[in-house]
Amino acid sequence: MAQSEAETGIDLTITETIQSLVESYRQMTIPLERYLFFILLPSVAFFVLSTVGALLLDLPMAVRAPIPLLGFLAMVSAVFYPKILLSQRKRELNNRFHLLITHMTVLATTKIDRMEVFRTLAQEEEYGELAMEMHRIVQLVDTWNQSLDDACRRRAKEVPSDAFSDFLDRLAYTLGAGQSLEDYLLSEQEQIIQHYTTVYRSSLDSLEVMKDLYLSMILSMTFALVFAVVLPVLTGTNPTMTVSAVIVMFIFVQSGFFLAIRSMAPYDPVWFHPEEYPSPIEERLDKSMYVGVGLSALLAFVTVGGLFGVSPVTLNDLLFFLDSVPLPFYAVVPITPMLVPGIVFRQEEQRVKARDDEFPSFIRALGATEGAKQSTTGMVLRTLRKKDFGPLTHNIDDLYKRLNMRIEPTAAWRFFTADCRSYLIQTFSEMYLIGREMGGSPKQLGELIAANMNQVLQLRQKRKQATTTLVGLLYGITAASTFAFFIGLQVVNILAQMSLDLNAGSRLDVNSLINTGVYNIPLIEFLLVVIIMFSAMLSALMIRTVDGGHKANTYMHFVVLSWIGAITGTFTKWLVTQFLAI
């Protein structure tokens, strides 16, 4: 009975997978016939030819075996590519869904025609796929003369996002029943925010599971690499080949986890990068980047040039306090100056987040005061700019000065958001500005925007906690795995020296018991340094992905993780030598 239930469950899973795959082919943006003839069929032919070639070629099995696997990978990729595209489209719809609904609500409260709401949102390129869906609804109404509720109902059947589909379905029913767009959207606000919160928290929970899996897999790979270093002492196999094979597997495992974490991390950017509105912050960030890259290039020349006798200054001259420069230091010293842009970008990001924390209070106070005094934003800011809004106070004062200088309000707000450099401030300021220009109630706009942004900031606090635990986990794994790597390497190195001493004074052939002659210790140490650097790079990228901050944050964590690996490896070699010397 239990077996039949399990078989039924498997059959249902296979059926659902096939149905979802067929649906993804149906929703492709390119014609199905073109995809079949130009992509799918050639990939199947490539798989068949690779299989036949592997059978006919007169080569060793180790060389022939990967050939059909490559063809099979190409065929599977072609078969499931439409489903991957559909999942990416679904992700794009869900990422900015709550911002679109907030923006739609702001427009609806201005009492403009409901079709103008959809036309305005269709022109917002920032919303990506959501803006395209708004455009499709507008096309159905304007070109095909369908009613708005029929257009929403039709698009609800086509979109891959369940949340967006349900929203369009409810919107179509409500509009068909005669309810106004404003009333419906205001009643939907709490549900939309709750849905966004649920999705955000579920993504963070998935990241917690991934961290546990990542820890288990990295520990397993660490043991495998240590065994690959030590076991050839007894077996006599080529340790360089075994270590290289495990390192390749190590790289694949870490890359897979990075891609998985990248796909699971919630979409919540911190930075805003305007191109047409320069800011002093941009100049400071650019200078730090120039300094870091320039110094890194100089140290790279000193390090490499010193090895080949090209540079007049060598790394030994720079690290004069060391008797000999350890091999890991040759890798980490040239990248050390990248700490400069990493630290500068991190400091600016902390200021951006501090402005985010103050913005809900500011926009609520601005809306309430404008509504009470029935005056312009510039008149309200004359008194409001004297309030303490933390790091945002200076930007508010600049906004008042620009408005007081009779700069066009839209341009003044754009300069304000450019100086703040915050994605949330830019998005919600744009909503407030458009709402006020279209005659919306400032008090209602301020409260609506503040409530939505406060919810996002609360979720960011949970994301910050998840990032902190990930940082501690990755820093600890880096130190622990490097410690294990170099213990095995140094033990083998000492055994090799002992076997030489024993052979010199004894008739017993020690090499018949301990196979140290197969080791190329400097080459294996170089491979270990490579995997430490690669692991530091991917770990830094994981931290940046989970944190959601600027890409330059990767530099700081990369440098710190690399130095942790280098110092741990050097200290481990010295410690093992001291213990075994006793």
Residue 2 pLDDT > 80, yes or no? Answer: no
Closest CA to 528 of 217, 223, 219, 225: 225
Band (pLDDT 50/70/90 cuts) for residue 10 is: low
Band (pLDDT 50/70/90 cuts) for residue 321 is: confident
Which pLDDT score, from 0 to 100, does residue 3 have?
53
Range from 176-190, 210-224, 228-242, 524-538 carrying the lowest mean pLDDT = 228-242
Residue 334 pLDDT > 60, yes or no? Answer: yes
Which pLDDT score, from 0 to 100, does residue 338 have?
95
Give the highest mean pLDDT range of 134-138, 374-378, 487-491: 134-138
Task: Find the mean pLDDT for residues 335-360.
Answer: 95
Residue 55 pLDDT > 70, yes or no? Answer: yes
Band (pLDDT 50/70/90 cuts) for residue 61 is: low
Of 254 and 15, the structure prediction assigns the larger pLDDT to: 254
The DSSP secondary structure of 294-345, one letter per residue, reads HHHHHHHHHHHHHHHT-SSS-HHHHTTTSSS--HHHHHHTTTGGGHHHHHHH
Of 394 and 519, the structure prediction assigns the larger pLDDT to: 394
Which pLDDT score, from 0 to 100, does residue 452 have?
92
DSSP secondary structure letter of residue 177:
T
Band (pLDDT 50/70/90 cuts) for residue 516 is: low
Band (pLDDT 50/70/90 cuts) for residue 277 is: confident
Write down the mean pLDDT value for the chain: 87
Which pLDDT score, from 0 to 100, does residue 527 have?
93
Instruction: For residues 408 and 312, give the distance between their C-alpha atoms in angstroms, rounded to a whole number.
Output: 59
Task: Find the mean pLDDT for residues 158-175.
Answer: 90
Band (pLDDT 50/70/90 cuts) for residue 423 is: very high
Closest CA to 370 of 361, 379, 357: 379
Give whole-number Cα distances, 226 to 246, 484, 492, in Å: 10, 7, 11
Residues 6+ apart with CB under 8 A from 538: 254, 255, 258
Which pLDDT score, from 0 to 100, does residue 4 have?
55
Instruction: For residues 123 and 135, give the distance between their C-alpha atoms in angstroms, rounded to a whole number.
Output: 8
Closest CA to 126 of 274, 348, 281, 263: 274
Band (pLDDT 50/70/90 cuts) for residue 168 is: very high
Range from 1-15, 184-198, 272-286, 292-306 carrying the lowest mean pLDDT = 1-15
Closest CA to 164 of 96, 227, 225: 96
Task: Find the mean pLDDT for residues 391-407.
Answer: 90
Give the DSSP H or E segment for 50: helix 41-56
Band (pLDDT 50/70/90 cuts) for residue 479 is: very high
Share of the chain above pLDDT 70, in %: 93
